[in-house]
Amino acid sequence: MLDKCERLQWDPDADLDWSVAPRRFDRDTEMAVVQYFTDMAGIERLAAQLFAVQRDNTTDPTLRAIFQSFVVDEERHAIVAERLARHYDVHHYRPYRTNPHLVRFAAAFEHVLHHVSPEVANAYITSGEILLDIALLRSLDDFVDDDMSHQAMRLINRDESRHIAMDHYMVGYYGSEEYARWEASQPAKPLLEQLRSALVVLAFMWKARPFLKAVFFEPMDMVDPSGRRLIEAFRRIQLVGLMGEAQGRPFNRFLRLLQDTFNHPIAGPFLGPLVVRLMGVDPRVIKRLYTEEDERRVRRMSAQELADETLAMKGAAA
Ligand SMILES: [Fe+2]
Ligand SMILES: [Fe+2]
């Protein structure tokens, strides 16, 4: 993997041809497209932050180098997204700024990252990347349907294939016996500290709803009106949480408890709105999106097999 990370680096100036003329859109569409790319840059920088945490959390030199290369990848994606925004800003109808919900969320995110375990940080990045790679970027690229966007997304997607593979690998690692042994050997955190961390995470989850709505659900409704890819991506996230090695982990159990509460015939109608607020996502994706057969199948799968399946779904490159 490290060899691949080094070999497949690229340069936005040398490897993309920015001289192609941008597709012309009507006024509203142009403004929407430029705003999407502006926000995409902010999301890519969140991903960079998360991989920096993964890098700092590991002592294994190979893993460190892999995650460091991912930080570089995500920063490159942010720069490319900013350039795409400028490329499509043909008429300068208005100035564009990162969505304020995203700005606020990014600040809260920085804070929470110091309170969550590396495992929870990994759950965030895995879910975030599945949403981004399977749903948002593919749909955005189809919607823009233009050579410049296709060129950039092809290379971004190639980087994302490595990220997704590692995300799954780490989900498997945090669910492994090796990690359980390491965890058991660590001194227990004082109760007060545990409580403080839990509260920080809950407060953070509470803030995620307006952010996800503004930068994910609303744009998705525009670029993927059928909601097909949105459901596909959330179904995938639910399935990754069921993977043999990961299903018993506390954070996954907590998320499933929230989901079961939402879907419960008696508790659901009362506690459902609270669950929606806490999980930060639309009710349509808190529903159980997989069948019993899916569940049985995924419980038997390894991280590698699941990664291959996710990669196939996103249209893997290299
Ligand atoms: Fe990225
Ligand atoms: Fe990524």
The confidence score (pLDDT) of residue 88 equals 98
CA of 46 to the centre of ligand 2 (A): 10
CA of 47 to the centre of ligand 1 (A): 7
Q: What is the pLDDT of residues 127-148, one digit of tens each?
A: 999 998 888 999 999 999 999 9
What the chain holds in terms of domains, given with CATH numbers, is: 2-179+189-313 (1.10.620)
The confidence score (pLDDT) of residue 129 equals 92
Let me know the angle formed at the C-alpha of 216 by 210 and 219, rounded to the nearest 5 degrees: 110
User: For the whole model, what pTM was predicted?
Assistant: 0.90
Q: What is the pLDDT of residues 226-266, one digit of tens each?
A: 989 899 999 998 888 887 667 777 777 778 888 888 888 88
pLDDT over 90 (residue 11): yes
Q: What is the pLDDT of residues 40-61, one digit of tens each?
A: 999 999 999 989 989 998 889 9
CA of 233 to the centre of ligand 2 (A): 15
CA of 294 to the centre of ligand 1 (A): 28
Burial grade of 33 (CB within 10 A; 0-12, 13-18, 19 or more): buried
CA distance 81 to 42: 9
CA of 71 to the centre of ligand 2 (A): 9
CA of 163 to the centre of ligand 2 (A): 5
DSSP string, 217-251: IHHHHHH-TT-HHHHHHHHHHHHHHHSTTTTTSHH
Residues 6+ apart with CB under 8 A from 260: none
CA distance from start to end of the chain: 12
